Structure 1
Amino acid sequence: MEKEARIEAAHAAAVAAGQAGYLDPDTGLFVLTAAFLAKRGTCCTRGCRHCPYTDGV
């Protein structure tokens, strides 16, 4: 549960700051925010963590 809380906090901070994404607190990989992905207009079908068009599949 701790991992999910860190991810959600990083995501919320990036969205609040208007950033396209954030560094995953565990892996250091760059993750796009739901807000950024929504601006794209469609799902890219790559299984983005915060995809607003699917359940993250």
Structure 2
Amino acid sequence: MDSVTGDDSTLREDWRTPHRSRLSPDHPQFEEISSRHAAAIEQNVPTYTDPASGFSVFTARFLARRAYCCASGCRHCPYEV
């Protein structure tokens, strides 16, 4: 397991995947987004660039290490919100 906090019990069971209500597997750029997310985690950087908007997006690992939900609707939010 990729433990990131002292208490991982607050994370969604599938916290490493995008929050389904914020990025559907049917999204036309799902594969590209998933690839960029995985690369950012591999490189241990907190964000990647969204291919459509150009905005920076936080990775699930970064958000989990922060240890709380900010309630901003993050794409990779690891918490149940």
Bigger CA radius of gyration: 2
- One-letter amino acid matched to 1:48: C
**TM-score normalised by length of structure 1:** 0.88
- 2:29 counterpart SS class: helix
- One-letter amino acid matched to 1:13: A
After TM superposition, what 4+ stretches of structure 1 lie above 6 angstroms from structure 2?
A: none
Could you tell me which runs of 5 or more consecutive residues in structure 1 were left unpaired when the two chains were aligned. Answer: none
Which structure has more helix as a fraction of its residues?
A: 1
For CA contacts below 8 A with separation 6 or more, give which structure has more relative contact order. 2
Q: Does 1:3 pair with 2:36? A: no
Q: Percent identity?
A: 47
Deviation string 1:6-48 (CA, Å, 9 cap, x unpaired) is: 1000000000100001000111000000000001101111110
**TM-score normalised by length of structure 2:** 0.64
Q: How many residues align?
A: 55
Could you tell me which runs of 5 or more consecutive residues in structure 2 were left unpaired when the two chains were aligned. Answer: 1-25
Q: CA RMSD in A?
A: 1.2
